[in-house]
Amino acid sequence: MNGVKTAGGVMIMATIVAGISVKHMSVAIVKAGAIVTIIAEKAADMDTAIKHIRQWSTRPDATLVRLIRPTNRLFNA
């Protein structure tokens, strides 16, 4: 839940910097921004995991399986 609060806070800060009144901003827009931020963070985590796997692709298959399995949990966190 902290991720949602942080992402929402980032969205509100972005609107203040842009000069948009937060009072006129719909809660749904803030929530949508929070969801987009969370998805972007998860995608970045997945990209990092893929880069690590590619970097160590010369390892035996059993080691690669251990590296791949934790990335499946990123979207369930």
Question: What is residue 16's predicted lDDT score, i.e. its pLDDT?
Answer: 53
pTM: 0.29
Indicate whether 35 pLDDT > 50: yes
The amino acid that residue 13 corresponds to is M
Question: What is residue 51's predicted lDDT score, i.e. its pLDDT?
Answer: 75
Q: Which distant-in-sequence residues (6+ apart) come within 8 Å of 75 by Cβ?
A: 42
**Domain chopping of the chain, boundaries:** 2-76
Alpha helices in 1-77 (DSSP H): 2-18, 27-55, 61-72
Kindly list the distances between the CA atom of residue 17 and the CA atoms of 1, 21, 49, 59, in Å, as whole numbers in the listed order: 24, 10, 33, 47
What is the pLDDT averaged over residues 14-37?
59
Question: What is residue 12's predicted lDDT score, i.e. its pLDDT?
Answer: 54
Planar angle of CA 29, 30, 32, nearest 5 degrees: 60
Question: What is residue 44's predicted lDDT score, i.e. its pLDDT?
Answer: 75
